[in-house]
Amino acid sequence: MSENLITKKMWVEEILEKYPTAQEFLSKKNIVCVMCGEPVWGSLEELMQEKDFTDEEIERTIDELNRFVSENPEDKQVDNNLPKLDKTYKRID
């Protein structure tokens, strides 16, 4: 992959904000990145190290994640029929 969209040093919150479909991929790898509706704190690397991923597994998983978000842009994943929420989680439509 010529350009990485996501790096291991990126904060989980930033990743989910830029690439919401990343949550689907990460959850399939048993990497919980949202708790109680909020992104977990820390970098992706820190989160994966807590799950005992080796450096090689981290690099491989991030390569796979970058491929996934490239092939699955948000507009293909989001159900546009769901009610929209503002930052305070109030229904706005």
pLDDT in tens, 27-58: 899 887 776 666 677 899 999 998 899 999 99
In a domain, 16, yes or no: yes
Give residue 34's domain range: 12-77
Residues 71 and 40: their CA atoms lie apart, in Å, by 25
Q: What is the pTM of this model?
A: 0.69
In a domain, 90, yes or no: no
In a domain, 7, yes or no: no
Name the residue among 6, 24, 11, 9 with its Cα closest to residue 66. Answer: 6
Q: Answer yes or no: is pLDDT of 75 > 60.
A: no
pLDDT at 41: 79
Q: How many domains does the chain have?
A: 1
CB 66 within 8 A of CB 1: yes
Percent above pLDDT 90 for the chain: 33
pLDDT at 40: 74
Gyration radius from the chain CA atoms: 14
pLDDT at 92: 53
CB 2 within 8 A of CB 66: no
